Structure 1
Amino acid sequence: MGKGKIYMLPTPIGDTPVWDVLPQYNRTVIDRLEYFIVENTRSARRFLSRAGIQRPIDSLRFAELNEHSTPEAVAELLTPVLAGTDAGVISEAGLPGVADPGADLAALAHLRGVEVVPLVGPSSILLALMASGLNGQSFAFNGYLPVKQPERGRAIRHFEKRAQTERQSQIFIETPYRNLKLFEDFLKECNGNTLLTVAADILQPDQLIRTAQIRDWKAKTPDIHKRPAIFILGV
């Protein structure tokens, strides 16, 4: 028997109905898989239940892959695939492998000659960029900024300079309960004419997506406390 394939299975962002944002082709793939490598088993089971898969969820096999997984554990997850079993990789939200530990499995799959198949789904990073009005030709996703000063201040000024000199949009994420502190640090560290996009709860009924100069943001703090958010610096 030949090797199986790794299918990167997107999930909705927030509580958006599954088949409002995912193409029907994804359903045909999900329905025939029996082995799922997931960031969190409980969340993955909930997603599959909402998706209305045809087979009983209790008959499926789940294995967890998260930020604490060791290289040895990642290799073990791939063992059934090397023996011929297809696997679906499921993140907590959005795209597996993008700001997600699924990238470690995909990297190992390539080393072992296993085909990795990405399926279509929402990315909060690209959705925020799409709606921002900032440069979508040249951009960089930088993940999390340092939490503590003075490292955070230096990092913000560094990325602001890149945005200004290279006209490259600089994209960041933050833990939701620290959103307001990061927002305040952008206002403190950046020039008044620098553009900042704040995008929260994307695709939800109460989504917020706004781009404005730093000086204009100082007049009103957005309601982003404990809301999943994306921040983008640009010019």
Structure 2
Amino acid sequence: MTSSSGVLVLAATPIGDPRDAAPRLAQELASADVVAAEDTRRLRRLCSDLAVAPSGTVLSYHEHNEASRTAELVERLTAGARVVVVTDAGMPSVSDPGYRLVDAAVAAGVRVTCVPGPSAVLMALAVSGLPVDRFCFEGFLPRKGGERARVLESLADERRTLVFFEAPHRIEASLRAMAAAWGAQRRAAVCRELTKTYEEVRRGSLGELADWAAEGVRGEITVVVAGAELRVRSLEDAVADVLHRVGAGERLKHVCADVAAESGLSKKALYDAVVAARTVSRATTAGP
């Protein structure tokens, strides 16, 4: 990091209720040399809610000008400016503009920090009623049906709780695609308008939620889906799987650990069974 570098501040903004803003947010907006906002009109509204007026330059920074404006912002940062990035709601760079700038700032040796704040992902997890000890965030699903189906298929065996963002006009199609890929009985929750006046959390199976969504859903939506249940497999099937993968070139110990985790079998018992099966196979091949 160079001594003359400025600081890049990713500032989380409220996802609905302006009272959720961190006290530091107003301070950063007021004192920044540059405020880069996804929507400058929304920024003005937020500043009005927070009773603050930016003293520095305010410019737009969104998906359509992110590539071209990043170089300008990095130039200001390396010259010593304090640049604050805000998006319409939540943390910049998380399914919003910001990642490109962070990557460029890090490469330039600029310090990057955050102002913490509300998170639709964490709030939806907390109120979903689903396991929260392990989870993964998948952002928005692809718009096209074929691409969406392929992504969902790749997540079919994911045991962690899954979190998605979705648009109101696509929520029914996405829920039906999830039901087709993972089963209509998989538990889920649709959380909409979090922290806002019409906040609603619908819990049920994917099939039930898809039928509910057919009536029309409005607002900002976060979907939480239970992870896949552990598939219990017989030791014989697991051994056959390990032998096939080892035959294709994978390492025995790594494959045994992977298959044991997926199947719920003891890693040692599986390893011993595979070794025994290989011994029998070699003896049979060798003949009398």
TM range (shorter): 0.7 to 0.9
Contact 1:10 1:93 in 2 (8 A): yes
Q: Does residue 52 in structure 1 map to residue 51 in structure 2? A: yes
Q: Aligned-pair distance for 1:25? A: 2.9
Contact 2:7 2:110 in 1 (8 A): yes
The 1:124/1:131 distance shift into structure 2, 3 A limit, reads: same
Contact 2:66 2:100 in 1 (8 A): no
CA RMSD of aligned residues (A): 2.3
Amino acid of the structure 2 residue aligned with 1:103: Y
Residue 254 of structure 2 corresponds to which residue in structure 1? none
Distance 1:64 1:7 in 2: 15
Flag as ranges the 4+ runs of structure 1 deviating above 6 A: none
Contact 2:202 2:209 in 1 (8 A): no
Q: How does 1:56-71 map to 2 (within 5 A)?
A: 57=54, 60-69=56-65, 71=67
Residue 167 of structure 2 corresponds to which residue in structure 1? 175
SS at match of 1:44: helix
Structure 2 unaligned residues grouped into runs of 5+: 228-288
Structure 1 unaligned residues grouped into runs of 5+: none
Number of matched residues? 225
Distance 1:25 1:145 in 2: 33
* TM-score, normalisation: structure 1: 0.85
Contact 1:200 1:224 in 2 (8 A): no
1:137 aligned to which of 108, 133, 136: 133
The 1:201/1:218 distance shift into structure 2, 3 A limit, reads: closer
Distance 1:4 1:175 in 2: 37
Q: Which has the higher contact order (CA 8 A, sep 6+)?
A: 1
Distance 2:89 2:210 in 1: 31
Q: How does 1:79-228 map to 2 (within 5 A)?
A: 79-159=75-155, 161-163=156-158, 167-217=159-209, 220-221=212-213, 225-228=217-220
The 1:70/1:93 distance shift into structure 2, 3 A limit, reads: closer
Amino acid of the structure 2 residue aligned with 1:11: T
Distance 2:25 2:157 in 1: 38
Contact 1:187 1:214 in 2 (8 A): yes
**More moved, 63-72 vs 124-133:** 63-72
Q: Deviations over 1:114-134 (max 9, x none)?
A: 111111211111111121132
* TM-score, normalisation: structure 2: 0.70
Q: Deviations over 1:90-123 (max 9, x none)?
A: 1011111211111111111111111111112111
More helix by share: 2
**Identity level (%):** 25
